[in-house]
Amino acid sequence: MSATSRIDAATPERSAPAGVPRLDVDPFSTEFFEDPHRIHDVLREAGPAVWLEKWGVYGVARYAEVHAVLNDPLTFCSSRGVGLSDFAKEKPWRPQSIILEADPPAHTRTRAVLAQVLSPTAMKQVREHFTAMAAAKVDELLARGRFDAVADLAEAYPLSVFPDAMGLKQEGRENLLPYASLVFNAFGPPNQLRQEAIERSAPHQAYVAAQCQRENLAPGGFGACIHARADAGDITAEEAPLLVRSLLSAGLDTTVNGIGAAMYCLARFPDQLARLRSDPTLARNAFEEAIRFESPVQTFFRTTTREVELAGHRIGEGEKVLMFLGAANRDPRRWENPDRYDITRRTSGHVGFGSGIHMCVGQLLARLEGEVMLAAIARKVASIEISGPVKRRYNNTLRGLESLPITISPA
Amino acid sequence: MPSITFVHPDGRAQRIDASDGESAMQAATRHDVGGILAECGGNAMCATCHVYVDEGWLARLPAMGDDEDALLDGAAAERRANSRLSCQIKLAADLDGLVLNLPDRQL
């Protein structure tokens, strides 16, 4: 692999400027994955900006600072990578993304293409089919009664709609989730999760690279729509496959963990399921609140392009800043009763999809999938009970479960 | 401090105090004006803070960007000549008295 460790002997010892609270927590450790909330609280209370000694980076965990960093993309850039690896110093593990890992003005052009492919108008066209597929999935699961809400629902439903909507071939789809898992592990530090994911990545990378090519994408799908924008001259023919790759990287595992988060919430908080059943129009907000509450995408980095003042501290150029989206989404400075899952909450402003110019370009697709699935559950399911051991899945960026055995009963 | 009015589809008028520099959407969210969802939080990405600007005010608003223009085509309620996204209407003293009509739905 190309990435070198930041903690190897060649790396000089780096330390925080005076006054910045220093913490030795590792946000990419099993301990953290098992219970991020306690450590999020420590991070938030330590100060508006902290120094994480383990990886030699700044961290922000309060809502105000996370929001500010997200919304100042010229100072806190993405083109040097949104993981720990600094592309100015290390070669990216895969060809750099031309949207996620780009700054204006280059980003503006590619972003416009994906925003149009995934626009409200485009969502209207797939909505009916996505709704019918969600209803069919819930019917199928009601017939089974007991199942794993991760594999059989949170993964199975997006897998039943997203690859078709993209226009992917049937063969090889089993590579999609491992590829996404790899991408999100690779934003993390050179720990075991990242190293192993990259070591095993070759077949998944080869699959994705091939599916990004025009001849492998069915007409009418999101993939073909991206290539059509190359004909229109909005992007080059070389850029189109890279934008398809962005959707294949970020369009599936994210919704899997979003829907998984919503299921885990409804299973744990039966009063909220009852509320949802009494008013199925709350489905969309119930999904949104699950995104705030669990923050399936936990973290992203930015890199400073100049010396900057952040929360009263001078930060030099070329520093990595880690944004704790999950901590911001439960910051008591911003949210009333932040640790309560409340499907009637006004969720607008949460940073579970990010904020600013890089805010999730597929957010409408994610909301559509989440809404129609929860609406089907609201109409058809009377109860959800956890009926086996809940197991967490470990990933450097994504928060979700490996297994959630549940039993449901029909309404 | 500009004061603006949201008119609900049933004709009910809701007058709220806004702060200079915030958007009409932010003011609505802060005062819990139902009918403004603002799912994307003000990033011009979701078209769920759609409003119909009251006659006379349209020309006084900041010009529409390409993002907003494209999003309005996909808004849930009918797009009209006076359609805007309230997250793109930045408020200042000169917009004191602005009247925004709410569509019957945002989704």
Rounded-to-integer distance, Cα A46 and Cα A23, Å: 8
pLDDT at position A82 over 90:
yes
- Integer Cα distance of B85 and A259 in angstroms: 28
- What residue of B is the nearest CA neighbor of A364? B46
Residue type, A365: L
Task: Give residues 343 to 382 of A whose Cβ lies within 8 Å of B.
Answer: 346, 348-351, 353, 355-357, 359, 361, 363-364, 367
What pLDDT does B1 receive?
Answer: 82
Q: Which residues contact A126 (CB under 8 A, 6 or more apart)?
A: A161, A165, A368
| Dist. CA A78–CA A321, nearest whole Å | 11
Q: Give the mean pLDDT of B52-74.
A: 94
- Go through A298-329 and write b for each residue having 16 or more CB atoms within 10 A of its CB, e for each that does not: bbbbbbbbeebebbebebeeebbbbbbbbbbb
Mean predicted confidence (pLDDT) in A300-318: 96
In angstroms, the separation between the Cα of residue B49 and the nearest Cα of chain A is 11
Given this model, what pLDDT does residue A13 score?
53
Looking at residue A408, what is its pLDDT?
A: 98
State the pTM of this model. Answer: 0.95
pLDDT (tens digit per residue) in A191-218: 999 999 999 999 999 999 999 999 999 9
Mean pLDDT (whole number) for A270-275: 98
pLDDT at B2: 92
pLDDT at A393: 98
Mean pLDDT across A285-293: 98
Sort B13 into a burial class: Cβ within 10 Å, 0-12 / 13-18 / 19+.
exposed
Sequence-distant (≥ 6) Cβ neighbours of residue A286 within 8 angstroms: A262, A265, A266, A272, A276, A343, A374
* CB atoms A355 and B41 under 8 Å: yes
Residue with tokens 């949460």: A350
ipTM: 0.91
- Looking at the complex, report in whole angstroms how far the Cα of residue A196 sits from the nearest Cα belonging to chain B: 35
A364 to chain B, minimum CA–CA distance in Å? 7
Phi (first) and psi of residue A370, to 5 degrees = -65, -45
B85 CB within 8 Å of a chain A CB:
no
Residues B29, B104: Cα–Cα separation, whole Å: 17
Give the model's pLDDT for residue A315: 94
Considering only CB atoms, which chain A residues are within 8 Å of B66? 112
Contact B39 A288 (CB under 8 A): yes
Q: What is the pLDDT of residues A164-174, one digit of tens each?
A: 999 999 999 99
Is A124 within 8 Å of chain B by CB?
yes
Instruction: Kindly report the average pLDDT of chain A as a whole number.
Output: 95
Q: Of all helices (H) and strands (E), which one includes residue A77? A: strand A76-77
